[in-house]
Structure 1
Amino acid sequence: MIKESRPSTGLIILAAGSSSRLGQAKQLLEFKGINLLQNAINVGKESCVDHVVVVLGANMDEIKANIDFRSTIVTVNDNWKKGMASSMQIGLKKLMETEYPDQIIIMLCDQPFVDSKLIDSIISVQSESDKGIVACQYNDTLGVPALFTKKYYDQLLNLSTSEGAKKLIYKYLEDCEIISFELGSIDIDTEEDYKNLIGKKT
């Protein structure tokens, strides 16, 4: 169980990309009867996070028409073409302006096997380890969902758009706790990825 005195946590869901390689808005692809972005939002709501921020950009009108954003904070990255780092920074700035949580978790909208148990585990692991970063391990790499405490906010905001949060994970491995999450390697970038997903037995 996570203690009631746990640090406050903001969840940043990155959903601003145009899905150019896919040819349609990946945010709205359905898996198990629900589209990917709605599933990500529901995961956030069902978890122990205190605030959920969704960063939109491309295909925004279509996405807004098909998603229930109640109980979330929606912000827009007008420069979404610059990449995920810019969207993460937009989401972080929004949280810092409105709630300023003790820590954030960065999450993609197209990792369909992320669930609330994983998010809660990340929070618990941080509380137990007192590390500044908690990252997921899959495909011999470390990545998101990943937690950063507020001591890393300035460095996250100073990343170039060509860099990602992974740079900080590897730079500060001594301050990073790792969770194994092999299904984290499954994300949706192409039509083939999506066909593999919907054909996958879970």
Structure 2
Amino acid sequence: MLDHSLTSNHAVIILASGLSQRLGQVKQLLSKEGEALIRVMLKLVVTTQPQDIIVIIPDHHQAITDAVADLAIQYPIIRMVVNPQPETGMAHSLYLGIEALGDVNVPVERVLIMGIDQIRLDELHLAALLAGKQPVVASGYHSWAHTDKRYLDDDALVNSSAKTIAGLPLVIDEGLLKQWQSALTGDKGLRQFIRALPASQISTVTNIQLSYDIDTPEQLAYAQQKGWLD
């Protein structure tokens, strides 16, 4: 169980409008323990007791819409925002999510931002992010290939001195997020702004399991072999 005394008044933005072109099938509908991945991640963030959950989905994908709509009946805090131009990149999805924050009836202090394909994400990690006090609390991990040498996309990626990635999921002060909104374009997400912050304003929660995301058929096959996905 999460200790909700450690969490702040927060909303969630789930970036789930990607077209999964490298994967070759709809990532949002991959199956984990018999349920669509997008539904698994939505149920996971519900456990953090947010004020609002905004999930950005692609246009013209009825099966994704149906999967979320069914869950939103059960959890009315879930709201869908359709990205009519998912091919423009993650930054536009995030822009739409920030825009939707303005419709939240209860003011929020912080925003949890995440994708849906870090298949080993769990409640404990989300709790640790939300317990952080800095303006930005990011997740720390390596590339997939660096993490597990039994799986190699590219031998060059296996580097014992590989730097830790500071990325999603992350928690950010709502005011800071809105300040950066207008500069979000294409694939340029938050990383450039986070890197420019003083070190005192950022903390990282390391979780090597977050290295395992799903972008290619090979990564999917590996995750299925491990039993992480059906």
Please give the TM-score of this superposition, normalised by the length of structure 1.
Answer: 0.89
Change (3 A) 1:3 1:66: closer
Size of the aligned set, in residue pairs, is 197
Q: Which amino acid aligns with 1:21?
A: R
Change (3 A) 1:123 1:115: same
Instruction: State the partner residue of 1:167.
Output: 192
Instruction: State the partner residue of 2:213.
Output: 187
Residue 124 (structure 2) pairs with residue 117 (structure 1): yes
Whether the aligned pair in 2 keeps the contact of 1:11 and 1:53 (CA below 8 Å) is yes
Whether the aligned pair in 1 keeps the contact of 2:57 and 2:65 (CA below 8 Å) is no
Change (3 A) 1:201 1:27: closer
Instruction: State the partner residue of 2:99.
Output: 93
Question: What is the alpha-carbon distance in structure 1 between the residues aligned to residue 124 and residue 92 of structure 2?
Answer: 28
Which of 114, 136, 141 is 2:139 aligned to? 136
Which of 76, 79, 103 is 2:85 aligned to? 79
Question: What is the alpha-carbon distance in structure 1 between the residues aligned to residue 121 and residue 13 of structure 2?
Answer: 14
**Structure 2: stretches of 5+ with no match in the other structure:** 143-163
Q: Which amino acid aligns with 2:128?
A: S
**Structure 1: stretches of 5+ with no match in the other structure:** none
Q: Which amino acid aligns with 1:186?
A: Y
Whether the aligned pair in 1 keeps the contact of 2:59 and 2:82 (CA below 8 Å) is no
Question: What is the alpha-carbon distance in structure 1 between the residues aligned to residue 4 and residue 66 of structure 2?
Answer: 35
Whether the aligned pair in 2 keeps the contact of 1:16 and 1:55 (CA below 8 Å) is yes
Matched position secondary structure for 2:67: coil
Whether the aligned pair in 1 keeps the contact of 2:23 and 2:215 (CA below 8 Å) is yes
Residue 37 (structure 2) pairs with residue 12 (structure 1): no
Question: What is the alpha-carbon distance in structure 1 between the residues aligned to residue 135 and residue 187 of structure 2?
Answer: 23
Summarize the alignment of residues 23-102 of structure 1 with structure 2, pairs less than 5 Å apart: 23-67=24-68, 68-70=70-72, 71=75, 72-99=78-105, 100-102=107-109
Instruction: State the partner residue of 1:148.
Output: 172
Question: What is the alpha-carbon distance in structure 2 between the residues aligned to residue 48 and residue 177 of structure 1?
Answer: 22
Matched position secondary structure for 2:54: strand
CA offset digits 1:72-110 (Å, max 9, x no partner): 011111121111111011111101233442111110011
Per the TM alignment, residue 18 of structure 1 is displaced from its structure 2 partner at its CA by: 0.9
Matched position secondary structure for 2:226: coil
Matched position secondary structure for 2:81: strand
CA offset digits 1:51-87 (Å, max 9, x no partner): 1111011552121233433120111111211111110
Question: What is the alpha-carbon distance in structure 2 between the residues aligned to residue 157 and residue 48 of structure 1?
Answer: 28
Per the TM alignment, residue 201 of structure 1 is displaced from its structure 2 partner at its CA by: 5.5
Q: Which amino acid aligns with 1:145?
A: P
Whether the aligned pair in 1 keeps the contact of 2:110 and 2:172 (CA below 8 Å) is yes
Question: What is the alpha-carbon distance in structure 2 between the residues aligned to residue 22 and residue 66 of structure 1?
Answer: 20
Change (3 A) 1:73 1:175: same
Per the TM alignment, residue 25 of structure 1 is displaced from its structure 2 partner at its CA by: 0.6
Which structure has the larger Rg?
Answer: 2
Whether the aligned pair in 2 keeps the contact of 1:14 and 1:106 (CA below 8 Å) is yes
Percentage of matched positions with identical amino acids? 24
Per the TM alignment, residue 45 of structure 1 is displaced from its structure 2 partner at its CA by: 1.0
